[in-house]
Amino acid sequence: MTDWQQQSANRMMRTFGAPMAMLVRGQGARVWDAAGNEYLDFLAGIAVNALGHAHPVFVEALSRQAATIAHVSNYFASPPQLELAERLVRLSGAGEDGRVFFSNSGAEANEAAFKLARLHGGTDRPRILALTDAFHGRTLGSLALTGKPAMRAPFEPMPGGVEHIDSTIEALEAAIGDDVAALFLEPIKGEAGVLPLPEGYLQAAREITSRHGVLLVIDEIQTGAGRTGEWFAFQHAGITPDAITVAKGIGGGVPIGALITFGAASDLFGPGHHGSTFGGNPLMTATANAVLGEIEHANLVRNAAERGAELRAAIEAIGSPHIVGIRGQGLLLGVALSEPRAGGLTAAAMGEGLIVNAANPNTIRLAPPLNIDSADITEFIARFSRALATLDTPTESDAS
């Protein structure tokens, strides 16, 4: 065990497994560890580093704002905060009624949405629906929405009223009623193995929730900021939700999240209903403005769609018997394996200088930076092919 591994084991809270490497530097789609090894990063901090590492636009915006004013509290407004709110309303299509609440993370954005649903429902609508296998965060409210019983079990009882249903239109029709306050869903369930909702589900969910006066809340924390080939994944379906939650890629590496409301849902929160000490501070919002501005300027939403299609085709062309399917959209892809060996493949990929992620035992998750290019995809395929070849010989880590 190296010194940093020992220090991590002794001093870091054991909320995650042992770190796979000590990363000390990044540039574009590449990172380097403390031993000087280079890795091609096709995970991007789980869809956070939208522009890759140390992008000059990101660095300049963060440095400039840090040298200007970093924090002002909620008693004051700041230009980058208002600029980012205007930008998110425009990009999401929330329209004139759109409103934004800033948080520090996606989980906190979902906490805000949970409280919004409670305000909407009051005592007449005590039920909230969410989908099985969905992941909405690890804070207590967002955990209650998360459809993974094993993750909730150690922390029961959860905040009440949340029911989890299968991702079918029939299940939604059977569960919904006029006593339901909100439906929460992910367009693509990342932690479940990058599983998109069934074709037509979002349109049906919009129609059914509207018919019953139920808020439709879409968790775009992983799918937002252009990752799927639209600014937000719900836009592929041509619907208008009541609220979306965003985080990860909008900050490009700084901690920021937001709840964006549409229409009448924008009037639910009043003074004192919710708050955040750091949410929307000038440092984070100035950086997010720069990141989203660069995504627009460099047309990276289109690049996500085009490079995503290229990456999918290149993986299919490998022709590995270990791959049984490729799911997802744009640059959020799940490589489905024939056996539960994603842990072993992730370790083999690290050995080839490639960072990917086991979304579950059967699925490798890919979420490279939105500015990834064809040369990096070609290099990824070469390294990933060599890692796949190691699956011909099973190892102890395959089922991890």
Which residue ranges make up the annotated binding site for pyridoxal 5'-phosphate?
A: 106-107, 135, 219-222, 277
Q: Would you say 309 and 136 are in contact if contact means Cβ atoms under 8 Å apart? A: no
Q: What share of the chain is helix, strand, coil (3-state, %, to 5)?
A: 40, 20, 40
Euclidean distance between CA atoms 201 and 198, whole angstroms? 5
Euclidean distance between CA atoms 387 and 397, whole angstroms? 14
Binding residues for N(2)-acetyl-L-ornithine: 138, 276
Beta-carbon-side half-sphere exposure of residue 130 (alpha carbons within 13 Å) = 29
Binding residues: 106-107, 135, 138, 219-222, 276-277
Q: Would you say 196 and 141 are in contact if contact means Cβ atoms under 8 Å apart? A: no
How far CA 91 is from CA of 41, 69, 134, 250, in Å, comes to 27, 26, 25, 11
CB atoms closer than 10 angstroms to residue 325: 12
- Of 317, 331, 325, the residue nearest 385 (C-alpha): 317
Which tokens is 87 given?
A: 């930008």
Euclidean distance between CA atoms 325 and 334, whole angstroms? 8
